[in-house]
Chains A and B, each alone.
Chain A
Amino acid sequence: MSVSRLESRLRKLFNVPRKGETFEFREGLVSQYADERKDTIQRVIAAMTVGKDVSSLFPDILKNIATHDLEQKKLVYLYLMNYAKTNPELCILAVNTFVQDTEDPNPLVRALAIRTMGCIRVDKMVDYMEIPLKRTLKDDNPYVRKTAAICVAKLFDLNSRMCVEQGFLDELMSLLDDSNQMVVANSISALIEISKATNSNNLKIDSKILKKLLMTLNECTEWGRIAILTALADYAAEEVGEVQHIIDRVSPQLQHENPAVVLSAVKVIIKQLDKVDEEQKNSLLKRLSSPLVSLLSTPPELQYVALRNIRIILEKYPVVLARELRVFFIKYNDPLYLKLEKIDIMVRLADESNAMLLLAELREYAMEIEIEVVDKSVMALGQLAIKIPKISKKAIDVLYELFISRSEYVIDQLVVVLQNILRRYSNEYLTTVITIIGDLDLDSLKSSDALASYVWIVGQYASEIPHLEDRLRSLMAQFQDMDPAVQSAFLTTIVKINLTKPTPVTQSLLQQALNQATKEIENPDVRDKAYIYWRILSTENSELQKRIIMNKLPVLESTIDHFPPLLLNELVNEISNLGSVYHKPASSFIKSVDGELINTQLQTKKFEELQQMAKSEIVNNTVKAENLLDFEDDYDAAQNSNGQSGTSTPVTGNILDELNDLFTNLSSQAPQPQPSGSSVFKDLIQEPESHQQSQQPNQQQKTSNADLLDLF
């Protein structure tokens, strides 16, 4: 070994910069020693991994593509996949090797070549894919065939027209009859993928294919099983025999150790439930219970998705899990999102037999530190009290205890709950509620929901409230700054009080409120409401006034929110998919746009990103003088490649322009790539919060409903 070689290696080892990294890489890539070349390739990949732009080395890396060393080949292919977009012209030079490799005696190489070809997303490459892909789809080795099957989906993504014209979809369909389970599973996955992209059904299952799939199911890897189960879930079996066959074959999958297989199997079975008789339906539902519970012995992230799905299943089929309350108990180290989800599910599972147990648990949770858990527990206590009259007394006691022991944490939610309880049990617990309301300091209420509830209680039970006039006066003082919902509630309250026990003070407050609401408040609803009240009050027909305004509200039966039936049915179709997590149908967050449009947008986006990378690189380089060399290298390389290819390609041209521009306006920021998501769905980002608070809008709605009812 020569001294200089050792020196260069040591230099690399200790990262001594000489002429910049790129220069060294380039030297290493053309080294006469094979192991040094491989070594350098690895270092280039390492640089790529940490986010450095090494795209300028493309031609040099390409020189190393023809090798028998499988590891080196993989690394070169990896590099090509990453930077093909930056040098689409040069990619053509690699085509030959790819095509050759798909005929290599080693099946690993054949598979690797066809897999990589599909990942080089350059239009030019597509033209050369047809023949190798056709060949590998018929390969003797199943490993190659299963890779080629997926490659059809890649080709479809790149050029759907060609894919269809060349009959690749039909080939995929015929692969469903392959003797090998993995080929079948991948063909299914590819067809599902294609169907999803085009929003059409390319996977047409008939009874023959169905039989084949059900037979293959037990031989597949876990991921293959999921693919097949996904296909089965979308298959609408009509015939009784078919339904039975599906159930028989799929239900053993509920015992699989991979939770995703279990949930996919659950979905298939749920889809068959409407097609079997009542008795079998019930026994199947019972059968689902313990697999669903088993989904909770997974890492927290999976548990979360499982719980969101359980919530849907529970609403559709409330008998499932009826006896399983305990498994949903909160563990001390559960992440917050799990705790909230579990409380939500537990309230739904509550019945007379387990309500006391749940009550004791909720009391513990309400003592927790995390404010969100406390809130949710107090809310759940209210839901429980309303759902199960038998334990309502105990629940109120717990709420009172919470008010005494940790008022500042619970008060907001507590007042909202109290309003609901009064609407369910109008008199039973009045003394407790009035005690709490009587002790309450108005300033301690932070949320407007709580304030609106408080105002409602004051109006409804005016005769019981101590120091009524003072309370009304301090409310009136804040009237201007209140939330519209609270203003509206206050109007109703003050009108009610004046109908039941008017005093000079309340009369003057009423006058002030109506005046302000009609003259100074901008919210149209509040203003209109004030006008309507005013008009009614001026009729001087007190009988009519009372009949309209003092109308009794219907008794509240439940405060647990439910999905509307239409949405629920859609969500059942979404089980285990994204929609089941967001509790929204897929159509609301996935937009079907012309595939090619996205692609071109993305291309420009990626290109912009690369430009930006280049810019920031240059900015850095101007600071570090030593690295400036690098830049010059890049510059040269760009020019060279320009010269080599003979024609000035628009891409490199653009880069050069950009670079030139850069020095004139270094400071100016390139336009940020515009995200392509439609803003209509932006609210989805807020989804978690909105869900968390979903009870509150509900409440609001109820209060406004109440007001409406008051009116008529």
Chain B
Amino acid sequence: MASVVYFLDSKGRPLLSRDYKGDIPVSAVERFPYLLINNSTNTESFDDGSARPVLYDNGIHYIYLMHKNLFILAMTRHDTNVFNIMSYLHNLVKVLESYVKSLEEESIRDNFSIIYELLDEMMDFGVPQITDTKILKEYITQESFTLENVIATATGSKSGSLIHQQPKQPPATLTNSVNWRSPGIFYKKNEAYLDVVESIDMLINAKGQMLSSEIHGAIKLKSYLSGMPELVLGLNDRFLNSGLSSIRGETRDSNSTKGIEVEDVKFHQCVRLSKFESDKMVSFIPPDGEFELMNYRVHSHTLKPLFMIDYKMKNHSNTRIEIMIKVKANYKSKISANRLEIRIPVPEDVDSPKFHYNKGSIKYIPSESVVLWKFKRIDGGKEYVMIAELLLPSVHDATSLENFKKRPVNLRFEMQGFVTSGLQIRYLKINEPKLNYQSYPYVRYITRSGDNYSVRVK
């Protein structure tokens, strides 16, 4: 397992570290930036992210993730489960972000003592222990050591020694077999909200043909329920059967023109996995508050691009270009999409952009080299056009000019009221054997774009 965990800034300088085994010399981390450079395609910098995430040098294995501008690095000397370490680092970032909001150089410096405490609790001798934020927050609650606190204590307005808290105990939850929920939770009103969210990633070529599509679905539960409630979630049979047959690895019926296949259903820790397979039941005791109950992928044979994009570009002798985009909402007129954002790549450093359009709002974002066209709402069947005129910077070579067209046009949107997989929630039974309260769940269905809903323009 991991011997040390380091947080490093964008230059590869250590910000904070925790040594779990004492078998890695400090000089090892000093080698890290050189290793990155040696393994990057770009020989001057290493933040292009081209270096592989597992590197080897001098008997030491470097395993790292990039998060914003940080490197989160684990090192080991032994042959170990590297996927486990990476998954842990990923979870570590999630936990820390729940404590310090945004994990970056500044927040690490400001919150070092709580981070040390968490590092100590989440991993022992390189073995991951606990990464459940809700449980950790029950007994690691130290106030962040921030400048405000120093001022507060310095001026005597709040003296640390005066606060005599109850001595903290390790939550029994931690080691219970239900290790995600503490006993004794109470709410006056018992409520549960279910969100079914499906995000569509799609790659469409310049001719408007769909090259690939992926639908990732998730059911999120936000619950404010007292005691230890036993929940059973009822799903429609078509969804269940499709999901189960994929789990069992049965051959998919390729002739089915219904064309929806659910694959790869994954559940939260709390769901009794064996029950799902044997009894088709999603039964669980939920963690308190918000969490993702399950996620799945959907393979659809009938899915069509939701927006047709027509792209034309005219280059006026390398001094000025004109980009014309036509967008057509390719769904029924009853439905409408909200917050549509179209990101259109343009060359770097263009000058005095001019736009002509008949709907939405447009602006040029220099930092991303895109033109962003935003709609609050777009109804099915409607069609809109915009033309952007851009002056090109005087110094550039003609070959690199066309490079911007290699980046695809990216779309983001959200639609409410239905999901593509046809998943339906039939019921959510809530049963708390001791308290016996009534509660009714609220259900929402949302379809939205994933991070990669893109249209190639070349």
Contact = CB atoms under 8 A, between A and B. Distances in A.
A676 B145 CA distance: 39
Nearest to A677: B59
Contacts of B160: 34-35, 38-39
Main secondary structure of the interface of A (DSSP, over half): helix
A252 B58 contact: no
Contacts of A302: 83, 86-87, 90
A581 B82 CA distance: 8
Contacts of A93: none
Interface of B: 1, 14-16, 19-23, 25-28, 35, 38-39, 41, 48-61, 64-66, 77-84, 86-88, 90-91, 109, 112-113, 116-117, 120, 124-132, 139, 142, 145, 150-151, 153-156, 159-161, 167-170, 174-175, 177, 179, 203, 211-212, 214, 216, 246-251, 263-269, 272-274, 276-277, 292, 295, 297, 403, 406-408, 452, 454, 456, 458
13 contacts: A45-B113, A50-B109, A78-B116, A81-B19, A108-B167, A151-B125, A283-B248, A301-B86, A327-B212, A332-B454, A372-B41, A578-B80, A675-B58
A252 B25 contact: no
Sorted nearest first, the 9 A-B pairs with minimum C-beta distance are A677-B59, A287-B249, A286-B249, A677-B58, A252-B273, A260-B87, A301-B53, A586-B79, A9-B154
Contact of B297 (A74, A193, A297, A678): A297
B211 A181 contact: no
Given A181-B177, A258-B87, A46 B56 contact: no
Contacts of B128: 223, 226
Interface string A270-282: 0000000000000
B86 A286 contact: no
B14 to A, nearest CB: 7
A625 interface: no
A10 B113 contact: no
Given A252-B273, A258-B91, 6 more contacts: A74-B117, A193-B125, A218-B274, A369-B406, A590-B78, A677-B60
A576 B52 contact: no
A298 B295 CA distance: 13
Contacts of A335: 49-50
Contact of A577 (B59, B80, B109, B263): B80
Given A143-B174, A337-B52, A259 B83 contact: yes
A469 interface: no
Most buried by A among B1, B56, B117: B56
A552 B221 CA distance: 68
Contacts, number: 321
Contacts of B169: 106-108
A304 interface: yes
Interface residues on A, range: 35 or more
B269 A257 contact: yes
A591 interface: yes
Given A141-B170, A290-B263, A150 B408 contact: no
A361 B211 contact: yes
A609 interface: yes
Contacts of B151: 13
A150 B128 CA distance: 11
A196 interface: yes
A304 B52 contact: yes
Nearest to A302: B86
A489 interface: no
Given A193-B127, A368-B406, A673-B27, A121 B274 contact: no
Contacts of A253: 273
A289 B83 contact: no
A602 B23 contact: yes
Interface in A230-285: 230, 252-260, 263-264, 283-285
A623 interface: no
Most buried by A among B14, B58, B126, B169: B58
Nearest to B247: A255
A71 interface: yes
Contacts of A488: none
Interface of A: 1, 6, 9-10, 12-13, 33-35, 38-39, 42, 45-46, 49-51, 68, 70-71, 74-75, 78, 81-82, 106-108, 111, 115, 118-119, 121, 141-143, 146-147, 150-151, 153-154, 157, 180-183, 186, 189-190, 193, 196-197, 218-219, 221-223, 226-227, 230, 252-260, 263-264, 283-291, 293-294, 297-302, 304-306, 309, 326-327, 329, 331-333, 335-337, 360-361, 364, 367-370, 372, 574, 576-582, 586, 589-591, 598-599, 602, 605-606, 609, 672-673, 675-678, 681-682, 684-685, 687-688
Contact of A10 (B26, B59, B154): B154
B51 A337 contact: yes
Most buried by A among B81, B91, B408: B81
Most buried by A among B23, B83, B161: B83
A256 B14 contact: no
Contacts of B295: 257
Most buried by A among B15, B177, B276, B292: B177
A305 B154 contact: no
Nearest to A118: B125
A305 B174 contact: no
Contacts of B170: 107-108, 111, 141, 143
Nearest to A582: B56
A1 B127 contact: no
A221 B116 contact: no
Nearest to A305: B83
A293 B216 CA distance: 12
A193 B128 CA distance: 13
A218 B1 CA distance: 22
A221 B269 contact: yes
Contacts of A578: 54, 61, 79-80, 82
A688 B27 contact: no
Contacts of A672: 27
Nearest to B451: A333
Contacts of B125: 118-119, 150-151, 153-154, 190, 193
B82 A609 contact: no
A221 B179 contact: yes
Contact of B26 (A327, A337, A609): A609
B402 to A, nearest CB: 10
B25 A49 contact: no
A591 B60 CA distance: 11
B251 A221 contact: no
B200 to A, nearest CB: 13
Contacts of B112: 45-46, 49
Contacts of B109: 49-50
A227 B127 contact: yes
B406 A367 contact: yes
Given A257-B292, A301-B53, A337-B50, A252 B274 contact: yes
